[in-house]
Chains A and B, each alone.
Chain A
Amino acid sequence: MLKYILKRLVSSIITIWFVITVTFFLMHAIPGGPFTSDRKLPPAVEQNLDAKYGLNKPLVVQYETYLVNLVHGDLGDSMTTIGLTVNQVISQSFPYSLSVGVCAILFSLLIGLILGIIAALQQGKFLDNFCMIISTLGVAVPSMILAPVLIYVFAVKLGVLPAVGLDTPSNYIMPAIALGSYYMAFIARLVRSSLVEVVRQDYIRVARAKGLSKSKIVLKHALRNSLIPLITYLGPITAGVLTGSFVIETVFGIPGIGREFVQSISNRDYTTILGVTVFFCTFLIAANFIVDLLYVVVDPRIKLDN
């Protein structure tokens, strides 16, 4: 186990280094820097700016400085938001994204599980088809379309939910649905297919022969085993919710890290793009790592060392 963790740690660090390197050189391959866009600056000012952010040094030196600072946990200064470091940008915006993301994941897990269980128990009947239609729709409707439609229906027409901001708990409902609907659909299908398989196993027949109630069989015996595939899927869900936030946060006016990232792209803010990308990847690699460990805890049949 310890050997496995060490191996994973090493490969994670290599991956993060790879991401940093690729992103760094991609960023500097972009035509036009952060200071070339708006008004034409006097050459002296431009030189000073370049000197302040080290853009006048050779690329390799810049790369080295960046790596050294990164090891100290310093992602540098934001190039377009004067006076803010990238660390501050992330620490200000990430909590919003995290809370919305957690709501979205909880929503998708809860509703996905319920739909999947109902569908598996009513296999081939009306409710099964109904649940599967809902989940197919969830896959087919992209969040950037679902989000404005939700706003139009619930905020503009019905006026029951607030459209923008994150001031009250009810603000979280629509972003969570828009962000989580795709994964809800996916989870519903996953749970259905794995539950259908598990229900045919002998130990379920034993449980039924013992005279246990249907709900007890499902909740105590069948569900636990059919949850295993779900756990592996938690990693991709986290990634998807994170990238989905680019759109959702823009539509709902949430000052989260996704919106920050999209803005830094249009501002050509190298350090923020780079910093947020590195942050995203580190976060996701850590999440995947935890999911893999969780997998072993839940299913003792799996041995990581092999």
Chain B
Amino acid sequence: MQFSKDMFEFVPKEEKNTNKVVRPSLSYWQDVWIRIRKNKLAMGGLIFIIVITLAAIFGPMLSKYNYTAQDLSMADMGPSSAHWFGTDKFGRDLFVRVLVGARISLTIGFVASALSIFIGVLYGGISGYCGGTVDNIMMRIVEAIYAIPMTIYVILIMIVLKPGLESIIIALTISFWITMARIVRGQIMSLKEQEFVLAAKTIGASPLRIILKHLIPNCMGQIIVTLTLSVPDAIFQEAFLSFIGLGISPPLASWGSLASDALGGFQLYPYQLLFPALAICFTMLAFNLLGDGLTYALDPKMRK
């Protein structure tokens, strides 16, 4: 075929301009941040989480009471200007104990979630990426464990381990990673057929590199949502363990142990239950609202 000049014409100026980027491009996370900022409930949750975390870290240092200091002359006092949340049956200041409880409960929540996510992401990543027999075997194991309710597991592990903070974290991690592994595997299964993975394979990237550098960053949204929802879950499980007598041992306190200690004298001193209970409820609420907001903000269907 012969080409001659009159077969072509110049692109009109207006058409050239259509390809110009008018607005600055936003990265995925900037986009998410803009959407989550508009969601008042989720922002409220986020602010509450930040405030309570800061209070847990610095609060006990600033208070003039020590969380272990007993003063039997001040036992079972109601809330007053000296003791904002009142005192317990040993005369310990409840305000500072709730703050120390926040330290323990939040530590359990964050550390157990972070550890289980680390294990779950690796396990799920490898299983999802390899597929075939490896995936089959790895997922059979996960299914076998998944069939047993998590709480029963955590209880069994707690019976065997010495009671204490580390044991609770270990027990929760051992049971939490399963959910994470399942979610990550599902995500990776759907992502690994995409072109960018093929491109990475073509230039000779190792499987581990593809999993860590290409696939997992793309599942980050789901992972973060699961993280926000597993923190309150861990706090709840810890409270549950304290309730059946397998939790933190005194004089240390967690919200769960404070609440279950208060149950005995609950009808006489309801405020002793009220404050740790409110702390648990508000924290669960805050994490749940943030998680909901994140799910909504990360949903690709919601992107304009």
Interface residues of A (CB under 8 A from B): 11-12, 14-15, 18-19, 22-23, 26-27, 29-30, 136-137, 139-142, 144-145, 148-149, 152, 156, 239-240, 242-243, 246-247, 250-251, 262, 265-266, 268, 273, 277, 280-281, 284-285, 288
Contacts and interface: CB of A to CB of B under 8 A. Distances in A.
A136 B285 contact: yes
24 contacts: A11-B143, A15-B143, A27-B159, A29-B160, A139-B285, A140-B282, A141-B284, A142-B239, A144-B239, A144-B243, A145-B259, A145-B280, A148-B266, A242-B149, A243-B149, A247-B240, A250-B243, A262-B245, A268-B159, A280-B149, A280-B152, A281-B147, A284-B148, A284-B149
A246 B267 contact: no
Interface string B145-174: 001110110011101100000000000000
A128 B143 CA distance: 37
Nearest to B287: A140
A236 B293 CA distance: 24
A284 B160 contact: no
B203 interface: no
A11 to B, nearest CB: 7
B288 A140 contact: yes
Interface in B199-220: none
Contacts of A149: 277
A159 B165 CA distance: 40
Q: How large is the interface on B (under 10, 10 to 19, 20 to 34, 35 or more residues)?
A: 35 or more
A239 B285 contact: no
Contact of A277 (B147, B152, B259): B152
Interface of B: 140, 143-144, 147-149, 151-152, 155-157, 159-160, 236, 239-240, 243-246, 259-260, 263, 266-267, 270, 273, 277, 280-282, 284-285, 288-289
A251 to B, nearest CB: 8
A153 to B, nearest CB: 10
B148 A148 contact: no
A94 B289 CA distance: 37
A265 B149 contact: no
What is the predominant secondary structure among interface residues of chain B facing chain A? helix
A158 to B, nearest CB: 14
B270 A247 contact: no
A223 B240 CA distance: 35
Contacts of B236: 142
A19 B146 CA distance: 11
A213 B229 CA distance: 40
Nearest to B243: A144
B149 A148 contact: no
A142 B152 contact: no
Given A18-B144, A152-B266, A247-B243, A26 B281 contact: no
A220 B163 CA distance: 54
B144 A30 contact: no
B267 A26 contact: no
B244 A262 contact: yes
Given A144-B260, A243-B149, A26 B244 contact: no
Contact of A136 (B148, B160, B273, B289): B289
Contacts of B243: 144, 247, 250
A246 B281 contact: no
A26 B156 contact: yes
Contacts of A247: 240, 243-244
A60 to B, nearest CB: 19
